[in-house]
Structures are given as C-alpha cells and as structure tokens.
Structure 1
Amino acid sequence: MTTATAVRADPEAGEARDGTLHDGLAMALAAGGSALVGMLGWVLAARQLTPAELGTATAFVSAFLLIAGATELNVGIGLLRWLPGAGSQSRRLLVVALGAVAGLAAVVAVGYLLLPGSGVIVEAVTGPDPSPGAHAVGVGLFVLTAMLYALFQQQDFVLVGLGRPWLAPARTLLFAVGRLGIVLAAGASLTTTTVVVSWLVPLAACVALVSLQALVLTRRRGGAARLPRLREAAGFLGPTYLGQVATSVLFNQVPLLVVLRFGPEVGGRFFLVWQAVTVVDVLAQYFSNSLSAGVAREPGRAAELSRAVRRRLLGVLAPALAVGVLAAEPVLALFGPAYAGEATALRILLAGLVLRLLVVHRIAEHQALGRGVRVARLAVATTAGIVGVAALVPAGPADPLILFALGFVAVQVVAAGAVALRRRRDPAVRPAHHLATQFDGSPAVTSTLLGHDDLVAAPVLVSGRPRTGAPVAVCIPVYQGGRHVEATVRSVLDQTLADVELVVLDNASTDATAAVLAGIDDPRLTVWRNPVTVDMVTNFRRAVALSHAPLLKLLPADDVLEPDCLAAQVAAFTADPGLALVVGRKHLVDEHGRVLARGRFVRHGLAGTHERPDVVRRVVRSGANPIGADAAATFRRDAYEAAGGYPDDAGLGDLELWLRLLEHGRFLGMTTTVARFRVGADTASAETHRRDYDAQRAFTADVARSARPVVRRRDVVAGRVHAPLARRRRELLYAAAGVSARLRRTR
C-alpha cells in the first residue's frame, strides 16, 4: 500500500444517534394512520352502500391512487437522500421535484380515462349516463384528486427530509378528521359522490398546509448545497421509478382487475380484503424507507442501520400479522355479513405478508444505497407475479379470492427465497459514492453524495484541463510523494498506448510533491489538490470521481507501470466486454528500483478468465491477497460505481473492491508483468502490515462464510495454513527492503 495519505479519520466517539428509529416511526405512523383511517372510512361506507355501489366507489379511488403512485417518479426516496444536504437549494429542489410529479399526474389521469372500461371511474361522481357537462365535471374532479394525492404522498418524505418527521403524523390526523367527518356527516345519505368528496377536500387542505410549512422550513436553511447532477438524479430515479410503478400497480391495479374479471360485487368484497394487505405493506414500506434518510446522514453506518430497521420491522409487524390471522373473521364482520365469508382468504394473505416484509426491506435497502436497477428488478418481478395470479385465477365454482390468496403466498415464497439467496452472496451493505455538482450543472466537483466530505475541502484544479474521450484513466492519489511521484507519472505518460487520461490528486502534501508535478508538462495530465488533507479512502474516491474514461486504474504514487501495461489491459477489455477486472503480475522493488521479487501475484490458479465464485474460492485458499494491490489492476467504471465505489476500509480496500467488482463481470488474470510495486521500509505498508494481517484473516473468514457452498471446508483449512506463510514472506520482503535502503545510504 502506498503513502497516498497517512491520515485516517478518527472514529466518532460513542454510538451515533439512530435517527432511523424516529424517522421510521414517524413515517410508519403517518402512512399506517392514513391507511387505517382509509379502512375505517370503508367500514362506514360499506354499511351504507350496496356491494355494487361500493365497487364503483372503489374503482374511482383505486384509479387515482394508481395514477398518483405511478407518477410520483419515486421522488420521495430521492428527497430523503438529497434534502439533508440541499442547504440553500432546498426550496428549488422541492419546486422542481414536486412540480414534475403534479404535472405528470395530471397528464396521465387524462390519458387513463381514455382507456376502455374507464367509464366506471367517472360514474362514481356522475352516476350512469351522465350529461356532457356532468361528465366534464367528473373528469376534472378525477384529475384534480389524482394531482393532489400525488403531492400528498410525497409530503411525508419532505417533512422527514427537512428534519420535521413528527409533523407527518399530525398531517395524517388532519386528513383523518376531515375524511371521516365528511363520511359521518353524510350518514344514511352517503353516496358514491360523497365518498369522492371525502377524499378531495381533506387532500386539498393538507397539501396547502404542508406546502406552507415547507416554505417556512426551507427559508431557514442556508449554507452550501450538495445536490446531484440532473443526469445522476435521473440515473437513480429512473429505475426506482419503475419499481414504484410496480408497487402502485400491485396496490391498485389488482383490485381493478378483479372488478373487471368478476364484477363489482366480488370486486367490492376483494377490495376490503386487499386493504388489509395494503395497510401492512404501506406500513412496512414507509418504516423501511427511513433507511434512506439514515444512510444519507451516516453512510458509514449503512450496514448497522439496515440490520436495525429489519429487526424492528419484523419485531413489530410479524406479531401484528399473527393477531390479524386470529381476528380475520370478526374484523371483516364489521363491514357487514356479506364480507365475513372472505376470512379464509384474508388469513392466507396475512400469512404471505410475513415473507413480504423481507422483500420490502430489501427494496428499501437498495433504495438507500442508490441501487436503482435492483429496486426495479425486485419490485417488478414480485408485482408481475401477483398480477399474473389475479389475471389467471379461474372463474369456476371455487372461491376465486381463496385461489388468488394461495397464488399470492406462492409468489412471496419465491421472492423471499431469492432475497435470502442473494443476501448470502452479497452480505455487504455499502452506499454508492459519487461526486456531486449543483443542480444547474455548475462545476462543484465537490462533495461525496453519501460521504463525509465538506465543500470547503473540495479539490481545486492546479494545472491541465479535464480530458474526455480516452479509453482509460489512470488516477494517482498522492500524499508526501515528492520522492517517487515523477517516476510514477512518467511511467504512465511513456506507455505504448498514448491515448490516456491521467489524473493526479495531491492530498495537501507539504513536501516537494507540488513542485515536482508543476515541472511535468503534458496535455494528458490534470493535477488537482485538496486544500486540506483528507483520509486516504476519501482521497482515492475523489481521484476516481475527477476522471472520465470508461476504464480505470488506481495507481499508488510510488509504483510504476511497465510500458505495455495499458495497451495490453485495454485490449483485453475490448476483446471481452464482459470483463469487470483485469489484473497482471508485478515485480516487487525497493525504494531505488532494485527488484526484490519477480512476477508476483495472479497465481494459485487465477491465470485466465474466471467467474466470481472461482476467484472467491482461490482467495480463501490463499489465506492472503493472491490478486494483488491497485497498480496491476484495471477495471470498468460502471462496475466500480455499481459496486459502491472504493471500500471504507483502506487496509483491505483493494481485495474487497476486486471481489465487489466481480459481482458485475468476469475476472481476467494476465501472466505478464505489468507494474512494479515499491516496497519501502518507511512506507505505510511497512508500518501497518502486521495490523493488516489480522484484518485480512477476518475478512477472508467473512468471505468464506458468505460464499458457502462454493467455498468448501478444505478451502478454509488450506487458507489457514497458507496465511501465516504469506505473512512471513511479506515480512521478509520488508526486511529485505530495509537492508537495501541501509546499504544504499552507507555507500
């Protein structure tokens, strides 16, 4: 390991406050309160309306809920991630985000009413065979309600993001009082039109009041803003929006599908049963979504926060589901005798929801870590399975709702099993790190979106111009590297592959580093400098974020590349686009360049192309790092970003990064020597290799446990035998480097 920086961030004293508990409880109370109030409203409506009238009213409500959910763009999760650091740009962020949601909801609502069979939606307001004027009024009310609800469901996220989570339940209480007040006031004269009004009026009041509250809160926020670029925001919101659409379809299109297939009477009974599923699912989602705000505030505790949220989620809702199974029949009897007969279907659905909690938590975890594609994949797959069940349930003598409930459970078994298997292969929970700019694209190459950087410590451009278009970027983070950094830079500029992007990030060195770099004039070289010294991991991450090429190499500032290194490794990626990581061998040299050991690493059967399981097994068997450190490796940028960036633990950063990269592509081990790794008696590597040995053993043990059954018992035993031998070889190398240095000084 190089002396890229000798500074490590001090761990925070004591245990940090777990804000996810407060945020999660507040959001769960708000969402659960809204859902429970909705259920109570339907209880009252079911006692006054016939099942057919109830089915018509639920068609209107399901339709605007579907549209609001399908057009929210998953902005709420984005606001949880971005509002904590938005500073003086908070109001602008809210206007852009919520304006987009409201506008899209209006457009989609109009389009939805053009679909075949949508006439039943407007009938909830106008009754059958309305006049043109009445039809226009019904359309207008539907569009307005969809817009208001689209904004309404974002406001919990807004309040949590602005640091006022307990205002969310207060808003729900206001909505509950308004809605139930209208239903109760109607009494025996309740109609489907009154049901629509009971939603519309409280929605308008809540949206107006919370908007005013947000205006006041954002006025008080100041300071520098940390916002994503528009492209970055779209990259997160796009896939997660697809996942949100899937969730909205799950909640709202399924009951509509039942109405269309089996008629309003069966649809009305199913709607009430399905509301129980919706209440629990919404509670679970909102509670789990608090993880996004927690990770945004404390990215270093992502794994700890995720486990805490999962534990609380299961601890609270699983017992509640058990009570629901026991009380299913008397609860449904509250709606009337026509609904009590569906108790068996409700019990089956509630049993399936226990497994659904694991799926909901995994989706929230992906959202918190910026894994948009995984959010979409899991949400779409589960929704497609449930919609498929609803579409294929036979309309025979058997109760279709019981058949649907059994199909629902089968889908949850498959989904929860897939989540459990994936978690065994991918147990690590780490946030993605990206450099952010202002929303308007101004050049604030500044802070890590989920990191601990401060804008005042942002890198500044010293010389050169950022370069695009090169196939590969070599990133050199340097700290106090004046003795060797020129040789390192020259080894890149003298490559046989001339088209290269070279980024050097000086970590506020106080030695001759700046002067050495100032003496190198080449258009391919860009030199940046941190105004203050940051920890090594942050410096590595920043160096990568300042580059642009699709292929990346992190080159320590005291190592050098062989002349054909980049040409050979870029050619390998060109020949096989499925590769994520290409690594060659390297010579180990002392401080003066004398070779101590030739052609090290990429042994133990790692030569050639391998999938991740085979590489993991070889790592465990070696008891060390058979792949090697940064200099000899080149990797794809998209795999690096998908893997969450450079790991938090600098001591194991290279090996941990290699294994995470291989979740997104194959490994190629080259048998040619491509770099020279400098072993110095006074480098960070020499000072810390004993501590790193213990960390390596613990990491390898964790990898072995998570990779079973690919990693077998005999692999673990072989690793335990090889580990101390590898340590002794390393100690001998450093001793040889020390002897070499002393001999040179005495000449």
Structure 2
Amino acid sequence: MSNLWGRVLRDLRSPLFRNGYALMANTAITATLGMGYWLLAAHFYTPEEFGRGQAMITAMRLFASLTALGLVGALSRFLPLAGRRIPELILRGYGLAAATGGVAALGFLLTLPLWGQTYSVLGGFGPGLFFLASVLVWSVFTLQDVVLTGLREATWVPLNNLVFGLAKMGLLVAMAGALPDGGIFTSWMVPTALALIPVNWLIFGVIVPRHMKRTETVQEPPRLREIGRFLAGDFPGTLSILAIVYLVPTVVATRVDEATFGRFSMAHTLASMIELLAMNMAVSLTVEGSFDRSQLAENCRRALQRAFMIIVPIIVVVLAGAPLILSVFGDGFAAVGTTLLRLMALAVLPRVLIEVYLSVLRAQSDARRLAGVQIGLAVLVVVSILGLFPFAGVNAVGYGVLLSETLMALLIFKSLRKILIVGDMRPASVTQGSSGAA
C-alpha cells in the first residue's frame, strides 16, 4: 500500500497524471456525493417523484450535452496551445453548446406528448421555461471542467464539484416539504446556475491570463478552419456516443414506469461513474499529447497502467457487493439493478482501451478514425440493446454495452498496440507546440 501511495505522489509531478488524478478524484467525489444525494432523495421523496426527478435530469443532460460533449475533444486538443485565441475559443464553445442545446430542448417541449407520461409535468409554461433554462445552464457547466482541464488546471475541478454537490444535497432536503413535486430537479439546477459565476470568474480572470503568458512562445494558434475540420470528424462520432450515455436511459424511461426507472437509473448512474474514470485519464492524455507528441507512446503506456491499477479493484468491489450497494437506496433497487450494475462495471475494462485509443486519435487530429470508432460503437450498443430489451428488460442495457465495447476493443487492439510500441507516426501539425511550452 505504501508503495502504491508513493507511486501516486511521484506521479503528481507529471501534468499528465496530476490532471488525470484530479479528474479521477472529481469522479470519486461526484460519485460519493451523488450516492448521498440520491439516498436523501429516496428517503424524503416518493418513489414516483424519485423516478420523475431522475428522468428530468437525464433528459436535461441529454439536450445540454448535444454540442457540449461534442466540443470536449476539440477543446482538449486545441485549447492548450490556442494562445491569444483562448478566450474566443471558450466563449464560442459556450455559445454553440447553449444554442444547440436550447433548440433541441425546445423541440422536445413542443413534442412532449410523444415522450410518455413521465415528462408530462413539463407541459406548463413555467415548468417548460425552467427546463429550457436548465439546459442552457448545464451546457456551460459541462464545458467548464473541460476548459480547466485543457488549461492544465484540472485540480480546480474536484473542488468545484465538491461545493456543488454539498449545495444541492442541502437544498434537496430543504425543499422536501416545500416542494414535494419537482424538488429534486429544482435542487439539482439552482446550485448549478450559481456555480457558473465564481468558476468563470476564476477561468477568465486568473487562469486564462496565466496560461496565455505560460504559452506565449506559441507562434501560430490553431485557425478556426483547422478546428472546424477536426470537429467535422469528431463531432458526429461524439454525438453518436450520446446515444449510449443519455439517449438510452431517456428511451428506457418511456418503456417502464417511474418507480422502475428510478431503480434502473440508480444502477446505471453508478456504473457510469466507474466508466468516467476510464475517460478521465484519456482526456488528460489528449491535452498532454497536444503539447508533446514525441512522448505519446510512453504516456499511453503509463496512462493504461495507472487506469487499470485504479479501476480493477473498484470493479472487483462492485461485482462482489452490487446487491449490498444498491440495497442502501431502498427496497427493490437491488432486484432491478444488480445484474445491470455488474455487467456495466465489467464493460469498463474494454472501455479503458477504447478511451485511450480515442485520446491518441484526438491528439493526432485523426478525425476520420475518431468518427469511425465512436459511430461504430454507438451503433453496436443501440442495436444490441433494442434487440435484447424484449427478452432481458433493463438488463439489456448492460448486456448490450458489455458485448459492444468488448467487440470494439478487440477491433482496435492491433492499432492501439502499434501506438504503444511505436508512438506517433503522423507528422506534427503546424500548430504543434514544443514541449518547452509545458
């Protein structure tokens, strides 16, 4: 144990691991506070309101993430060396994410009868307007963490989400009596909106000027046309991944009752938190790969080693203790979600390989392969879930994710192995900075 802790402390000297561990710590904090939040929600609210709150938050995050998550790869790739264009790039990202998310949410509200009884509470003008505003707020909130990571300041991310998590838990309890219907969704969004003010003051007032000075030797910031070409390949693939992350739960909500969805969603949320650990180190790898691609092979090997070192013990604990973990939330949660949680936890193992491979493709600006891998994975997952749902119910989500991600990991393994051995074989782009800029 002491050797492991000593290795982690030594790793903190490297920006790759410092940012990667900060994002992993953020996921751990988010997961812990998230469990606490939903435990309180299960205690203070009815099973129907619990499921309805889960469904509202899932739909909101789906629309807010349509462009926000699509920009994660581009901001991670180009923001580190954007130089004088950093503020412009951030603001363009915020505006684009909010605008497209708002349009999608408006379309959802106008077609509300098609989405089932669960979402009917959004039918009034006031609830609909609050939902629309929530999508705009979450679009910006999502990109804040990416901006901090791209500027190599990911250590602020866990602090931001710690304060946010505690605030929404306090508001959840406070609103249980005053707003028994809608209190869950409201308590989630109000702290989110308030968090935008101090975090963006920190970004634009402190971190951006400091990073611009640190990288002032960059001769040629990335041109908008270059970023656009990258997005043309990366965005469709990232958009397809949304089908796995948010669209699948939203569709499940239309096929089961509110109480069942709440139990399904709790297992799905916990499994998604483990999956986020795989993505955390990959995002940091993209940032460092943008700074110095000569170290790509070495950074990939180290990222894989550390990711598995942290994730494998967590998966073992989840496989053994899934029923006990879920039973904490109340009766019925273990019965509905145990198999789903175990299957999705196992799926994180091949997902680590996929995410590291995707991070390398982003660092290399290989948009064509990025799109191919992500779209292919999404198609496999969605088709397998839809095919298995009539036979396996909500567990079809777990079987579909595990089978699809295992197959994709096998398909990309040869290319990933070559990168681990040889490194980056593509010519550096004209915007590539020197390692000295780091």
Taking CA–CA contacts closer than 8 Å with sequence separation of 6 or more, which of the two structures ends up with the larger relative contact order?
2
Find the structure with the greater CA-based Rg: 1
Rounded Cα–Cα distance in structure 1 between residues aligned with 2:433 and 2:85: 19
1:282 is aligned to 2:276: yes
Alignment partner, residue 401 of structure 1: 394
1:383 is aligned to 2:375: no
Deviation at 1:413, TM superposition (A): 2.2
The structure 2 residue matched to 1:452, chosen from 431, 434, 438, is 434
Aligned residue type for 1:58: Q
Alignment partner, residue 24 of structure 2: 28
Alignment partner, residue 77 of structure 1: 73
Alignment partner, residue 173 of structure 2: 184
Aligned residue type for 1:284: A
Deviation at 1:248, TM superposition (A): 2.1
Query: Unaligned 5+ residue runs, structure 1?
Result: 1-14, 436-447, 456-747
Query: 1:227-269 deviations in whole A, cap 9, x for unaligned?
Result: 2222210111222222222222211111122222233333222
Query: 1:20-42 deviations in whole A, cap 9, x for unaligned?
Result: 10011112222443344333322
Rounded Cα–Cα distance in structure 2 between residues aligned with 1:418 and 1:48: 47
The structure 2 residue matched to 1:264, chosen from 234, 252, 258, is 258
Judge conservation of contact 2:49–2:182 (CA < 8 Å) in 1. Answer: no
1:357 is aligned to 2:352: yes
Rounded Cα–Cα distance in structure 1 between residues aligned with 2:106 and 2:28: 29
With over 3 angstroms needed to count, the CA separation of the structure-2 counterparts of 1:406 and 1:249, relative to structure 1, is closer
Query: 1:63-102 deviations in whole A, cap 9, x for unaligned?
Result: 1111122121632332233232233332222222222222
Alignment partner, residue 105 of structure 2: 109
Rounded Cα–Cα distance in structure 2 between residues aligned with 1:42 and 1:177: 12
With over 3 angstroms needed to count, the CA separation of the structure-2 counterparts of 1:293 and 1:453, relative to structure 1, is closer
Alignment partner, residue 306 of structure 1: 300
Calculate percent identity across the aligned residue pairs: 24
Alignment partner, residue 57 of structure 2: 61
Alignment partner, residue 46 of structure 1: 42
Rounded Cα–Cα distance in structure 1 between residues aligned with 2:229 and 2:116: 37
Q: Secondary structure at the match of 2:255?
A: helix
Deviation at 1:314, TM superposition (A): 1.0
Query: 1:387-410 deviations in whole A, cap 9, x for unaligned?
Result: 2233223546xx523344333322
Residues 630-709 of structure 1 aligned to structure 2 (within 5 Å): none
Alignment partner, residue 421 of structure 1: 414
Rounded Cα–Cα distance in structure 2 between residues aligned with 1:62 and 1:18: 35
Q: Secondary structure at the match of 2:394?
A: helix
Aligned length: 419
Judge conservation of contact 1:23–1:160 (CA < 8 Å) in 2. Answer: yes
- Larger mean Cα displacement after TM superposition, 296-305 or 339-348: 339-348
Alignment partner, residue 729 of structure 1: none
Query: 1:403-426 deviations in whole A, cap 9, x for unaligned?
Result: 443333222221121122333566
- Structure 1 runs (4+) greater than 6 angstroms displaced: none
Query: Unaligned 5+ residue runs, structure 2?
Result: 1-10
Rounded Cα–Cα distance in structure 2 between residues aligned with 1:141 and 1:122: 14
Give the alignment's TM-score, normalised by structure 2. 0.87
Rounded Cα–Cα distance in structure 1 between residues aligned with 2:185 and 2:425: 43
Deviation at 1:182, TM superposition (A): 0.9
Rounded Cα–Cα distance in structure 1 between residues aligned with 2:394 and 2:47: 16
Rounded Cα–Cα distance in structure 1 between residues aligned with 2:237 and 2:95: 21
With over 3 angstroms needed to count, the CA separation of the structure-2 counterparts of 1:59 and 1:229, relative to structure 1, is same
The structure 2 residue matched to 1:241, chosen from 227, 235, 243, is 235
1:193 is aligned to 2:188: no
Q: Secondary structure at the match of 2:424?
A: coil
Higher strand share: 1
The structure 1 residue matched to 2:366, chosen from 358, 371, 379, is 371
Q: Secondary structure at the match of 1:393?
A: helix
- Larger mean Cα displacement after TM superposition, 261-270 or 140-149: 261-270
Deviation at 1:158, TM superposition (A): 1.3
Rounded Cα–Cα distance in structure 2 between residues aligned with 1:260 and 1:324: 28
The alignment's C-alpha RMSD in Å is 2.7
Q: Secondary structure at the match of 1:202?
A: helix
